[in-house]
Amino acid sequence: MLRSLCKSKIKNAIITGKNLKYDGSIGIDKKIIESADMVQGEQVHVLNTMNGERFTTYIIEEPAGSGNIILYGPAARLGEPGDEVVILTYCHIEAKEIHNFNMRVISLGKNNQCKTK
Protein backbone atom coordinates (compact mmCIF):
# COMPACT_ATOMS: atom_id res chain seq x y z
CA MET A 1 0.00 0.00 0.00
CA LEU A 2 1.21 3.51 -0.83
CA ARG A 3 0.89 6.40 1.61
CA SER A 4 0.96 10.07 0.62
CA LEU A 5 3.34 12.07 2.82
CA CYS A 6 4.58 15.63 2.90
CA LYS A 7 8.05 15.44 1.30
CA SER A 8 9.22 19.05 1.59
CA LYS A 9 8.10 22.21 3.35
CA ILE A 10 9.29 25.77 2.82
CA LYS A 11 8.10 28.02 5.63
CA ASN A 12 8.32 31.77 6.23
CA ALA A 13 8.51 32.47 2.47
CA ILE A 14 7.52 36.01 1.52
CA ILE A 15 5.94 36.74 -1.87
CA THR A 16 8.23 39.19 -3.68
CA GLY A 17 6.19 39.78 -6.82
CA LYS A 18 3.36 38.73 -9.08
CA ASN A 19 2.66 38.69 -12.81
CA LEU A 20 -0.83 38.08 -14.17
CA LYS A 21 0.41 37.81 -17.78
CA TYR A 22 1.60 34.21 -17.54
CA ASP A 23 -0.06 30.80 -17.83
CA GLY A 24 0.39 30.09 -14.13
CA SER A 25 2.84 28.77 -11.58
CA ILE A 26 5.04 29.92 -8.71
CA GLY A 27 8.60 31.09 -9.26
CA ILE A 28 11.03 30.07 -6.52
CA ASP A 29 14.71 30.95 -6.12
CA LYS A 30 16.82 28.01 -7.41
CA LYS A 31 18.81 27.80 -4.13
CA ILE A 32 15.58 27.43 -2.16
CA ILE A 33 14.30 24.76 -4.57
CA GLU A 34 17.51 22.75 -4.19
CA SER A 35 17.63 23.14 -0.39
CA ALA A 36 14.04 21.91 -0.13
CA ASP A 37 14.68 18.87 -2.39
CA MET A 38 12.22 20.18 -4.98
CA VAL A 39 12.56 20.41 -8.77
CA GLN A 40 11.32 22.70 -11.52
CA GLY A 41 7.91 21.55 -12.73
CA GLU A 42 7.08 19.75 -9.47
CA GLN A 43 3.56 20.16 -8.16
CA VAL A 44 3.29 22.27 -5.01
CA HIS A 45 0.58 23.35 -2.63
CA VAL A 46 0.86 26.98 -1.61
CA LEU A 47 -0.76 28.13 1.64
CA ASN A 48 -1.09 31.88 2.09
CA THR A 49 -1.00 32.59 5.83
CA MET A 50 -2.20 36.16 5.33
CA ASN A 51 -5.51 35.52 3.55
CA GLY A 52 -6.17 31.78 3.97
CA GLU A 53 -5.89 30.99 0.24
CA ARG A 54 -4.61 27.52 -0.60
CA PHE A 55 -3.83 26.49 -4.17
CA THR A 56 -2.00 23.91 -6.25
CA THR A 57 0.43 24.85 -9.01
CA TYR A 58 3.94 23.95 -10.22
CA ILE A 59 7.44 25.34 -9.70
CA ILE A 60 9.41 27.43 -12.15
CA GLU A 61 12.99 28.29 -11.35
CA GLU A 62 13.99 31.85 -10.47
CA PRO A 63 17.65 32.97 -10.45
CA ALA A 64 19.76 31.44 -7.66
CA GLY A 65 20.27 33.80 -4.75
CA SER A 66 17.54 36.21 -5.92
CA GLY A 67 15.20 35.43 -3.02
CA ASN A 68 12.33 35.52 -5.52
CA ILE A 69 8.98 33.98 -4.67
CA ILE A 70 6.72 35.13 -7.51
CA LEU A 71 3.11 34.26 -8.26
CA TYR A 72 2.33 33.93 -11.97
CA GLY A 73 -0.95 33.80 -13.90
CA PRO A 74 -4.16 33.02 -12.00
CA ALA A 75 -2.14 32.33 -8.83
CA ALA A 76 -1.15 36.01 -8.83
CA ARG A 77 -4.71 36.82 -7.74
CA LEU A 78 -4.27 34.72 -4.59
CA GLY A 79 -1.53 36.70 -2.88
CA GLU A 80 0.23 40.02 -2.67
CA PRO A 81 3.91 40.97 -2.33
CA GLY A 82 4.70 40.84 1.37
CA ASP A 83 2.31 37.95 2.09
CA GLU A 84 3.83 35.00 3.93
CA VAL A 85 3.31 31.57 2.35
CA VAL A 86 4.09 27.95 3.13
CA ILE A 87 5.03 25.78 0.12
CA LEU A 88 4.56 22.00 0.29
CA THR A 89 5.37 19.00 -1.91
CA TYR A 90 4.19 15.44 -1.40
CA CYS A 91 5.37 11.95 -2.33
CA HIS A 92 4.00 8.41 -2.33
CA ILE A 93 5.86 5.90 -0.18
CA GLU A 94 5.35 2.23 0.50
CA ALA A 95 3.90 1.84 3.99
CA LYS A 96 6.86 -0.33 5.04
CA GLU A 97 9.30 2.54 4.19
CA ILE A 98 7.57 5.23 6.26
CA HIS A 99 9.74 4.70 9.33
CA ASN A 100 12.87 5.54 7.30
CA PHE A 101 11.37 8.70 5.80
CA ASN A 102 12.14 12.25 6.95
CA MET A 103 10.39 15.32 5.63
CA ARG A 104 12.71 18.15 4.53
CA VAL A 105 11.81 21.47 6.21
CA ILE A 106 13.38 24.74 5.10
CA SER A 107 12.88 27.95 7.06
CA LEU A 108 13.49 31.23 5.27
CA GLY A 109 14.76 34.43 6.86
CA LYS A 110 15.42 37.95 5.63
CA ASN A 111 15.12 38.34 1.84
CA ASN A 112 13.94 34.69 1.56
CA GLN A 113 17.38 33.32 2.33
CA CYS A 114 17.59 29.76 3.75
CA LYS A 115 18.08 29.68 7.53
CA THR A 116 17.90 25.91 8.12
CA LYS A 117 18.05 22.64 6.22
Of 25, 66, 72, 107, the active-site residue reads 25
* Contact in structure between 78 and 49 (CB atoms under 8 Å): no
Measured distance between the N- and C-terminal CA atoms of the chain, rounded to whole angstroms? 30
Q: Given CA atoms 30, 32, 38, 41 in this order, what sign does their dihedral have?
A: negative
Select which of 22, 58, 66, 90 is catalytic. 58
In the residue annotation, 25 being an active-site residue is answered as: yes
15 neighbors 111 (Cβ within 8 angstroms)? no
Please give the positions annotated as active site: 25, 58
